[in-house]
Structure 1
């Protein structure tokens, strides 16, 4: 399919983080763009403000007649949309081209030099770092991000179309539509077992992805993963390694050992060794692409992060409030390590919203272990996303598994009251559901108090 022949793009699930990036991309390339989503959000408001037509009713009457041109229209949908969706069925019955988001990303990237970031954790942060580094080095790129970059206030970075930087998403095996020139794999921890069934199938999928890298391309793998490629790691003997780590005023200062030399005195503002690893692989890929060292060092120092990835909302002597998207036990461990490294000795309250009944069931013991590390824990109800409830799998069930006795259930209406009752000096909100919508209320309430 030749995307140059497409004039109209209609997105079903346009408010999703990956879908909205595609909407912005096609709109920036002068296509007629519109779409449907279930509920209004900050993302849909942003799209509407940019001039994209978005509506929230699954009705064929809402579809503009211009999007019914079979030869010039492409309909994109996300796997989260049910097959019974009225608009999706309508477009299919009309014979209009309908593709999944991952298929479209494959079409966009196949005519470019593609750098793809895969892994069960770290994709969004790594992709946004790499996109920022290459943008600052004036590479003619388009970067599709799975989060909102603090530097660009967008999930799309555009400086041209010759190079693409993309997240290679393992959910629904989406990343197997890509054929990257360079790729990295940050992690292969078990996840999405509702899709894969067991960890061995997930591992196989990553092995299949590694074979998608072009024959003259380069694959980077975090040291210790069971795949062959250019290795990277923290203070080890990898091909690319972070060395001489220091923390100065809350900022990492370090050197990078490459296969050929040592690059000195990088600065990076995000806390946590997991983020340092993300910065390292982004630097390694940019170096292998050919970006100059001095520009890379300057660019990394100016990187400000991704919204809901260890995002500071209040940072005073008396009170710190951080919000993070972590929704897997290993991600929660990484957040704990980062916050404890930055705030030794301070009491930390974590408010966690589990994401998906199946993930909560599959990793319950690991969730309990990771959450028990915090000084105080509050659990919200499980966010269902695309799932129906599973009998017996509730936040109350998970709470019982947490060994730290300083724990309780809470609801959104009680959050502010319960935070006031706590004497925690550091507050964390964690989860991939709609807990992010509570951030503005917490920030407003406690900005004055702190």
Structure 2
């Protein structure tokens, strides 16, 4: 399919992080973009503000007239339920229909593509690298899995410049979407079992990653692999935070509440670089971004400047409130490994503080598979408020719920709450730090928690 001949785009599930960045891109390119989603969110409101029309009712009568023409492409997410009326109708009658991952592969096929994969760390690595490429004046278009605080967007667009065009994307393993991509440079930040509804065994996940690694192509034809967590590859360049590899970081230290580290290239050492997002796990992600940047021959002075200018990523260790009395941090962590990394980092940054964690499990299948691991991770908190499982695309699984998870958590101060009751429960707790943790709609708590903290303890 030639996307240049497509003038109209209709996105089913336009409010998703990946879908919204793609919709915004085509809108910026002068295409007519419409979409559907179930609920109004920060992302859909932003798209509407940019001039994209969105409907919120599953009704075929409200579809635009051009939706079945040859000039229109229907873009959908695998998360759309099979009973969705618009989806059933468009699947049956539309001339052109493709998954988001297929559209992305078509978009990037004739340009240089850098794809960032991995169970953990994709968004952080991709956002840091996109920020560096943008700041040094490279013609980059980056599709992010989170909202960059620098650009207030999940799309970084620098395509008005001359020079080689580079697409930077996240290689998402869910639904095997990353197997549509054939990047010139790939990166795998971590390898850990997840998406158990797609990969019931770890071996099936590893096999998919190996297949992805074999899809890299010339020019470059290189894959950056974390030496601690990845497999072997003939085209690999290795990076690490524990071993002396092609690229590695060490000497991580904290000075005046800011984190710094040394970065080693194959030929030199870059000393005392700022780590813009705290934690050893984020050092690994930043190391990957720096390794690719150095490989692309970007100067260390420009990279250092870009790191100092980096403001963070919403929902990735994002500090929303900090005063002498209280701290509030929000994080997207939805896997036991990620929760462990988050809590350990908070304790390193703020030792001897009492931590209240509010956790929303994401998916019944993930909760079932990792139930014991989730319990162990959450036990590192001082106080826990556990929310109902966020189902996303799934139906309930018999016997798997927040009550069953709570029983396995060995800690004194724990309870279950609905999303609407959280704030009144927080008000009665004795804590120093609040953490909101999860990948569902727990982010709807951010504004009310910030507002309450400001009213009770003063502005930051």
What TM-score, normalized by structure 1, do the two folds share?
Answer: 0.97
Q: Partners of 1:82 and 1:428 in 2: how far apart?
A: 31
Residue in 2 aligned with 1:207?
210
Q: Following superposition, which runs of at least 4 residues in structure 1 exceed 4 angstroms of deviation?
A: none
Task: Give yes or no for the alignment of 1:248 onto 2:255.
Answer: yes
Matched position secondary structure for 1:387:
coil
Matched position secondary structure for 2:420:
coil
Residue in 1 aligned with 2:224?
220
Q: Partners of 1:94 and 1:233 in 2: how far apart?
A: 50
Q: Check 1:83–1:412 CA distance in 2 against 1; reply closer, same or farther (3 A cut).
A: closer
Residue 95 of structure 1, CA deviation: 4.0
Residue 413 of structure 1, CA deviation: 2.9
Residue 408 of structure 1, CA deviation: 1.4
Residue 283 of structure 1, CA deviation: 0.8
Q: Partners of 1:413 and 1:154 in 2: how far apart?
A: 28
| Equivalences for residues 146-165 of structure 1 within 5 A | 146-160=145-159, 162-165=165-168
Task: Give yes or no for the alignment of 1:110 onto 2:109.
Answer: yes
| Equivalences for residues 74-89 of structure 1 within 5 A | 74-89=73-88
Q: Partners of 1:227 and 1:335 in 2: how far apart?
A: 28
Q: Partners of 2:247 and 2:187 in 1: how far apart?
A: 13
Task: Give yes or no for the alignment of 1:268 onto 2:271.
Answer: no
Matched position secondary structure for 1:413:
helix
Gaps of 5+ in 2: none
Larger mean CA deviation between 263-272 and 352-361 belongs to 263-272
Q: Partners of 2:433 and 2:90 in 1: how far apart?
A: 50
Q: Check 1:273–1:398 CA distance in 2 against 1; reply closer, same or farther (3 A cut).
A: same
Matched position secondary structure for 2:197:
helix
Q: Partners of 1:415 and 1:203 in 2: how far apart?
A: 39
Contact 2:69-2:94 at 8 Å conserved across structures: no
- CA deviation profile, 1:191-224 (whole Å, cap 9, x unmatched): 0011112111011111111111115411111112
Residue 348 of structure 1, CA deviation: 0.7
| Equivalences for residues 201-350 of structure 1 within 5 A | 201-214=204-217, 216-224=220-228, 225-228=230-233, 229-350=236-357
Residue 290 of structure 1, CA deviation: 2.0
Query: What root-mean-square deviation, in Å, do the aligned CA atoms of Structure 1 and Structure 2 show?
Result: 1.2
Matched position secondary structure for 2:447:
helix
Residue 312 of structure 1, CA deviation: 0.8
Q: Partners of 1:46 and 1:29 in 2: how far apart?
A: 17
Larger mean CA deviation between 402-411 and 88-97 belongs to 88-97
Residue 86 of structure 1, CA deviation: 2.4
Q: Partners of 1:112 and 1:254 in 2: how far apart?
A: 34
Q: Partners of 1:311 and 1:218 in 2: how far apart?
A: 32
Contact 2:74-2:94 at 8 Å conserved across structures: no
Task: Give yes or no for the alignment of 1:197 onto 2:196.
Answer: no
Contact 1:245-1:254 at 8 Å conserved across structures: yes
Residue 410 of structure 1, CA deviation: 1.7
Residue in 1 aligned with 2:454?
447
Task: Give yes or no for the alignment of 1:354 onto 2:357.
Answer: no
Contact 1:321-1:427 at 8 Å conserved across structures: yes
Residue in 2 aligned with 1:181?
184
Gaps of 5+ in 1: none
Aligned length: 449
Q: Partners of 1:281 and 1:148 in 2: how far apart?
A: 20
Contact 1:44-1:54 at 8 Å conserved across structures: yes
